[in-house]
């Protein structure tokens, strides 16, 4: 059975216009706005780096 884990993106992402993340295939990346990424992956923005 697969487990569902919460996706968390560090709050520092709010300081930039776009971020680049893996597109899920070797050699492919996408550039996306942080808020759009959070919606896409149904994640949360939290402070995870001290």
In percent, how much of the chain has pLDDT > 90? 88
Instruction: Give the helix ranges, DSSP H, for 1-50.
Output: 34-41
The Cβ-side half-sphere exposure at 14, using a 13 Å CA radius, reads 7
Can you give the pTM of this predicted structure? Answer: 0.77
- pLDDT, mean of residues 9-21: 95
Q: Which residues of 7-29 are buried (b: 16+ CB within 10 A; e: fewer)?
A: eebeeeeeeeeebeeeeeeeeee
Please report, to the nearest 10 degrees, the dihedral formed by the alpha carbons of residues 4, 26, 14, 10 taken in order. 50
Domain ranges of the chain: 8-46
């Amino acid at each position: 059975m697969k487990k569902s884990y919460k996706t968390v993106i560090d709050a520092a992402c709010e300081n930039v216009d776009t971020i680049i993340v893996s597109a899920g295939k070797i050699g492919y990346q996408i550039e996306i706005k942080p808020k759009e990424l959070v919606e896409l992956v149904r994640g949360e923005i939290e402070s995870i780096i001290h």
